[in-house]
Amino acid sequence: MKILIFSTAYLPFVGGAELAIKEITDRLPDISFTLITARFSRGVPARERIGNVEVYRVGFGTRFDKWFLPWLGLRKAKQLESTAHFDVLWSMMASQASLSATWFKELHQGKKLVLTLQEGDEEAHLKRYVLGNEFLYELFIRSWHVAVFKQANVITAISNYLADRARRNSSAEVEVIPNGVTVGKFQIPNSKSQTNSKSQNTEVRQRLGIKPEDKVVITTSRLVEKNGVGDLIEAMQYLPEYVKLLICGTGHLDRDYKLKAKSYQLEGRIRFLGHVPNEQLPDYLQSADIFCRPSLSEGLGISFLEAMAAGVPVVATPVGGIPDFLSDGGTGLFCEVNNPKSIAEKVQTLLSDSDLRTRIATNALAMVQEKYGWEGIAEKMKSVFVDKVD
């Protein structure tokens, strides 16, 4: 079987969707994968093989490449089809790349199209492209956005929240297949003693100037409004001095959040760590007592599952796909959206109850191991490719 993937971005540009493609395709060696994406940077090759995927990047090597991707991606797909003769088309998210997939499907109605929804933003977020104008959104944006829904034969969604979105926009069969976690990567190896594991955590904390008696809240988030990091910063003013916050991530609100921390006189308690390479995230997670991301919207939230895999209890908001894996008091605690006092209250509840922390961390790890391993997820996607598109 030959599958042509359309994805607006791909490695080395890393996000949940890009990692999902890599993890799934690496586990399906009997399927041939080819991927078309925007180039974005002259520093990356126009063509290379990454794992089990032959990658073709189109564009001029600038951040504007995604706007040319619908047309350039279609042209590249036509060129590749002349010799490859693909069996299945796979569109990762309803984005610029999905227009290439849609137009290519219109030219090849005999081919089956699988759409995977991974979006973390509400659909209304697309109105930003027309400055919030409803008329222009309906005229220029929404019709293009839903085009791939109309052409898709099967839609997979990483959460029930996104599955409901798919059903509103399409009559295609919809299946929920979440993203996964490489659980072992986020756990301290069994070969290490408990003393060594404490030493590992202490090393990170000492490097950051955190005292042994301090408690650490961590978030791994893009610094954008939807992830609620601003609310988390405000929540710190309601927590004791010994509670510190580690913020791993970058984004356009970085400067605003640093100014907010300063305005609340929290600079000494908040560490802005910037971009943390994925391979280093386990060390930072294992140094923390609590993970918190009070999101405003969330497609699924792989960062929460990574924290759970690392044994860190989670505080989150009941939005988007988060209720798929977080039960209040079972695998985490829910706080209210846009409510710094509620965030602080839930963090304090966990800090003051070691039995609750242990029970939640144990339940969450067991749940992640059972439901979110990549091997099982890859097999579910293979079933979609092989069986459900015939």
pLDDT in tens, 82-131: 999 999 999 999 999 999 999 999 999 999 999 999 986 666 666 676 66
Measured from the Cβ of residue 192, the count of other Cβ atoms closer than 10 Å reads 12
119 and 24 in a single domain? The answer is: yes
Q: How far apart are CA 167 and CA 205, in angstroms?
A: 46
Q: How far apart are CA 344 and CA 347, in angstroms?
A: 5
Give me the phi and psi of 272, to 5 degrees please: -90, 105
At residue 265, the pLDDT reads 96
**284 Cβ contact partners less than 8 Å away, ≥ 6 residues apart:** 204, 218, 220, 246, 248, 273, 276
Nearest to 152 by CA among 64, 65, 220, 89: 89
At residue 29, the pLDDT reads 97
320 and 377 in a single domain? The answer is: no
Nearest to 150 by CA among 168, 176, 126, 123: 168
196 and 315 in a single domain? The answer is: yes
79 and 222 in a single domain? The answer is: no
Cβ proximity of 296 and 225 under 8 Å: yes
At residue 145, the pLDDT reads 78
Question: Could you give the number of structural domains in the chain?
Answer: 2
- Decide: helix, strand or coil at residue 281: helix
169 and 201 in a single domain? The answer is: no
10 and 144 in a single domain? The answer is: yes
Containing domain of residue 242, as a range?
A: 183-371
169 and 229 in a single domain? The answer is: no
DSSP string, 113-162: EEEEE---S-GGGGGGGGTT-HHHIIIIIIHHHTHHHHH-SEEEESSHHH
320 and 352 in a single domain? The answer is: yes
- Sheet strand arrangement including 333-334: 270-274, 243-248, 215-220, 290-293, 314-316, 333-334
- pTM for the model stands at 0.85
- Sheet strand arrangement including 53-58: 47-50, 53-58, 32-38, 2-7, 88-92, 112-117, 154-157, 173-176
286 and 337 in a single domain? The answer is: yes
217 and 136 in a single domain? The answer is: no
Query: At 199, is the pLDDT very low, low, confident or very high (cuts 50, 70, 90)?
Result: very low
Query: At 64, is the pLDDT very low, low, confident or very high (cuts 50, 70, 90)?
Result: very high
At residue 14, the pLDDT reads 76
Please state, rounded to an integer, the average pLDDT across all residues of the chain: 91
pLDDT at residue 197 above 60? no
Instruction: Identify the residue with better confidence: 203 or 217.
Output: 217
At residue 130, the pLDDT reads 66
CATH number at residue 126: 3.40.50.2000
Query: At 292, is the pLDDT very low, low, confident or very high (cuts 50, 70, 90)?
Result: very high
102 and 135 in a single domain? The answer is: yes
Query: At 48, is the pLDDT very low, low, confident or very high (cuts 50, 70, 90)?
Result: very high
